[in-house]
Structure 1
Amino acid sequence: MAPPVSTAQVQADPSHGPSRYGPALSLLATLFFMWGFITVINNTLLPHLRSVFELNYTQTTLIESVWFIAYFVASIPAAKVIEKVGYKLAIVVGLLIMAGGAGGMMLAASIPSYGVTLAMLFVIACGITQLQVAANPYVAVVGKPETASSRLNLVQALNSAGTMLAPMFGAYLILGRSKGGTAATGTVLTQAERMADAHSVILPYALVAGVLVVLALVFIRFPLPAMSSANNRLAAEERKSHSLWKHRNLVFGVPAIFIYLIAEIGVANLFVNFVTQPNIAPELTPEEAGRYLSFLWGGMMVGRFAGSAIMQKVDAGKVLAAFSAGAFVVMLITTFTSGPLAMWSLISVGLFHSIMFPTIFTLGIKGLGPLTEEGSGLLIMAIAGGALVVVQGWLADHYGLQNSFLLTAACELYVLFYALWGSRPTDVLPDPTIDG
């Protein structure tokens, strides 16, 4: 199984000096912003679809499961696209796939159809996967190798800026323009009202599709620095003497990313439904609760900027341990308290989740040397763990929404275990050299 292209496979073309990379990185940052923005629109879209189609929690979280299954399905084809057409055109392909999916969401809203909605969200997620596979290694290798982690954390922070603004966009243009989004919790909608609510999705996705097409045109015309294949991989016969499974930090890192995604996506997807419960903040409509979701993603953005600075002086494993312990504590508070305390503790988990993905990823490939390619591919595919958010939906249906966050708390404990022990490298190999 060929993994996605990773940082061990590509290097900057030496003909381009570092001064040429600034504009390219600025443009690439828009990709991180856009896929964060579009991903988090789902958090306001899900309670909207729950109302329109009268879904239970299992059916609601299945929507997000379909989204993350795309990471597993599309990552290998995305790498093949890069091999055939290069990074620049692969990015354009990803943007156009996303635009096509956004257009399909307009069709799904017009019918309206739960099945077509699932299919179109899957298409959008495939486009985002294409961007992830292309943009992450590009950002990592454009510039000095020793600052690669800093660059990746910086653009991830801009990704969080997109996730912070998306709930306000969704709350205003989706929930704010629908009967289900502005009515009191528990209001029963008529068939005509549900049909009108479904149509409220058309405008926001038309805007999204238009922006994506414009961005694709910009990338087509932009002189993105060329990337070339690296020649530092081991020969096939020599590689047989090395095994990824001898690297403890990778073996435990893959499930760490998988499990972390269950926690992050579960919190975000069920946030609006949780906050509007009678024992939390019954005075809030779904539209108003959607605005509070911006604080959760804002905390993630702040945490990434702060975490990047802290990790320049403090070991990344120790920082990850502190953040995961904090996340575990606030999830227990969320589960066993009520009112504003429970709401704000759930919001605060965004701050503690902030550094988890980039830090686990970095620790997971540490010491893999020429095996970094395969290790990176496994870690990228582990993003599919977000698909198992449906498990939390099932728990919410059978044991209560608030109790379902005990699953999130358990996920934080695994990340803590990884930070304290699982992330320690074994069988360390020399790092591959990357020219910049």
Structure 2
Amino acid sequence: MTVTNDVTVPVTGGASSPGSSKPGGTTPGSASTTRPGSTKPTAKSSTTKPSASTGGTTATQPSGAEPDGFVPKKLKAGEKAPQFIVVSFDGVGWHEKWQYWFDIMQKVPFHFTGFLSGTYMLSSETKTKYQGPGHGAGKSSISWNAPSDLPIEIADLNKSLADGNEIGTHYNGHFCSDNVPGGNDWNTDDWNNELDQFFGLIKNVNANNNLPSSVKLNLDPKEIKGGRTPCLEGHAEDLYPAMKAHGLTYDTSFTRRGISWPTQSKDNKIWQIGMAEFPIHGTNHYQITMDYNFYYTQRQASSQGVTPDQSAADSAVVQATYQDMYNATFKGNRAPLILGNHFNAWNNNAYSDAIGNFVTANCGKPNTYCVPFRDLIAWMEMQDPAVLAKLQAQDPELQAG
């Protein structure tokens, strides 16, 4: 079993939180944290697979469809934008959680983006083939695969791609402010180095690990178009030139207050699709709506001594927060919900259950599409520039609808 230790230092809005550089703001550098736990989720499977575009069973894809079957369409005059829900997971290195989400996909029309840590394409025996900028060879802030885990991870990635999900980059060694130098310290050369290695680890996974030819990763590096930095750290002026140089077109690292339509960076034309800072259900407490940030706020990122009933109550609050966000934007500006998560079992699976239950309850509703970042961008790029600009000019949704 592969388990990520992917972490992000939380920003909750308002007063400074540990490791946060710009709490509650809208500029690059706002941080969040990420490290999954290790209990096996329970899941049920069904026999028919819903399609992203219709909610029915998968059939031959129509012309112009994305790999998950979603067909982007231009808005007609006076037509309201669809409601997009974009769920993503950092790290994506845990077999049992892959299965949990594959099973959810069988129940509702749901596809997602997995941000892969490049170090998961190595093992504890081959780790010295990676050297993060400013660090020694074989060093990483997240754990390494056992050699036997690597073929399992590759098989899970292949299934995810075949099922129509998207893979992006979570870069490699997950170096943050707790293990400097990290994203907040790196310049463009360092980010170029990190991305060079990320794509090299994907391309050379067999050679690096002496894998047999029967094990093959079906991930075309050209299909990787975006990423999220570890701990949401870094500075756009350093990061975006490196992203552009590597053919990446979107970033989801830097958060914004409220729910608003994505825009492109002026110089590098990188789509900025950050997560929202939104009030926790029943409060005026704004925070980044990422699973670890909820965990930090509710339990100071510790499950010690937490009872199942307490975890269930925490989970219900998180799910209600997601629902508040959906209701606000569906009734309001229709900006996409960008929900960041991890393969984790924190707080007795409270956060995995919350996003799973939210997805199950909302994906497939009328005019609602639960899709990867790739599909959202395809839709935005299809719209008339004036129409998209009007959507982007709307005020953010700042409270429950």
- Which is richer in helix? 1
- Which is richer in strand? 2
Structure with the bigger RCO (C-alpha within 8 Å, sep 6+) is: 1
